[in-house]
Chain A
Amino acid sequence: MIAGGRSRGEERVTDIAAEIRQFITTEFAGDARPSVTDSTPLIDEGVIDSLGIFIVVDFLKDRFDIEVEPEEVTVDNFETVGAIAGLVAAKRPGTD
């Protein structure tokens, strides 16, 4: 075990959100956009489109080892970084 690390069970929603925010900023936001915060309306501001949602879904599967069911790919779950982090946290028991 690597000393000083947090186990999966000790992961914080804020850490998850930070990783998601970083991914979305790198992949979608680009230089011309204002920085993405946890409450930026990703869809209404055009940061991600319908295809982008599925790219985010793939990222979540790979990075957080979760399954996102088709019926969970809804606007409410992907409206903001905070909402996406909430979805991930709900699927990872022990996240605080």
Chain B
Amino acid sequence: MDFSFSEEQVALRERVLAFATAELNDDLLRRDRDREFSAEAWARCARLGLQAMPVPGELGGGGCGAVTMAVALEALGQGCRDNGLAFGLGAHLWSCVMPLVTFGTADQKRRYLPGLGDGSLVGVQAMSEPGSGSDAFAMATTATPDGDGYRLEGRKTFVTNGPVADVFVVFAATDPSRGFAGASAFVLERATPGLEVGEPLEKMGLRTTPMSELALNDCRVGPEALLGRVGAGMAVFTHSMDWERSLILAPAVGAMARQLERCTARARERRQFGRPIGKFQAVAHRIVDMRLRLETSRLLLYKVAWSRDAGHATDAESALAKLHISQAFLDSSLDALSIFGGYGYLADYELERDVRDAVAGRIYSGTSDIQRNIVAGRMRL
């Protein structure tokens, strides 16, 4: 067993870490307070090639494997304190770019992937609805035949990147009587008549990536909008969720490394009762727990990434990684806040924001309970 990365991956990690530390943290306190998406930071990520990582080389992308992408995204999360930006980037990659890479026609790939890869287009996925979240395929949005195309009607919610998005992967029932078997996926452009993006939703955390509802009112599209075959919605959705659960929390692993570094330095420098606080077991043990969470999270992240590259089934592994890393990030964020005491509660110290951001990890891409259901199903329980 060999846990080492290639020379190229090590160099990539150093490059992304230096870039993210220097280029992505501008004015973050204010942007978080004002719920502001940074188009400039998005463009900088694109110039480095982050949005293009999974795009095939012939379409201007990096054609990267999962381990390489995990390396880059962990480094991104370590250097970039803007968890919202990293989350928005993940949503773009796993819920829009990957479905197009895997299921897109040659025309769809040529039309969308170069722009999604160079950052000039922002991608989203619209699945959840006011009446269907965990029970995703109980959707009420329909796509009925209309000439040689379809007419979409319905309402979506929790659309990450929605307010700034250009390309929407939308799921709708083409045969509502068949549940998951009757769902299909479509690629819609922002200018499509009848597609209406709602106002940004106010959230507890991840405030620098906007989220909105999406209304589809008499939204007519041609046959070229269908992504995959009719009835392939389940395959498209499951595939993208598997990618998302595998890698959406790679930046959180980097964030945990950042927290550990800060807390270790704090524990050595901050003195109380005549000693560095790290000499108190209550503090030292908390920091060891943070390290343990970081190490176990890394193992699960790279195990699932390696499995993907090796062509193994990953649905249970991706659910386990997502389940564990999301909880580890929240627990370590709370521990970091505690180690800094009253200062940790202040916005200026940028630790309370991590707590608010980390809570979302247990909800998006399937709640932690849904991840347990997936693993239980795979264990034939």
Contacts and interface: CB of A to CB of B under 8 A. Distances in A.
Contacts of A57: 313
Interface residues of B, number: 21
B300 interface: no
Contact of A70 (B102, B137, B181, B378): B102
Given A73-B238, A75-B181, A50 B137 contact: yes
Given A71-B235, A75-B231, A50 B180 contact: yes
Contacts of A32: none
B376 to A, nearest CB: 10
A54 interface: yes
Interface string A43-76: 1100001111111011001000001001101111
A27 interface: yes
B213 interface: no
Contacts of B102: 70-71
A50 B236 CA distance: 12
Contact of A74 (B178, B229, B380): B229
A75 B236 CA distance: 12
Interface SS of chain B: helix
B234 to A, nearest CB: 5
B234 A55 contact: no
A54 B178 contact: no
Contact of B181 (A44, A54, A61, A67): A44
Given A27-B380, A51-B377, A54-B238, A71 B315 contact: no
A37 B118 CA distance: 51
B374 interface: yes
Given A43-B178, A49-B180, A55-B378, A75 B234 contact: yes
Nearest to A76: B231
A70 B228 CA distance: 10
A54 B311 contact: no
Contacts of B29: none
B340 interface: no
Given A43-B178, A50-B238, A58-B313, A70 B231 contact: no
A70 B235 CA distance: 7
A51 B366 CA distance: 14
Contacts of A53: 234
A23 to B, nearest CB: 12
Given A43-B178, A43-B181, A54 B231 contact: no
25 contacts: A27-B380, A44-B178, A50-B137, A50-B180, A50-B238, A51-B315, A51-B374, A51-B377, A54-B238, A54-B313, A55-B377, A57-B313, A70-B102, A70-B235, A70-B239, A71-B102, A71-B232, A71-B235, A73-B235, A74-B228, A74-B231, A74-B232, A74-B235, A75-B181, A75-B231
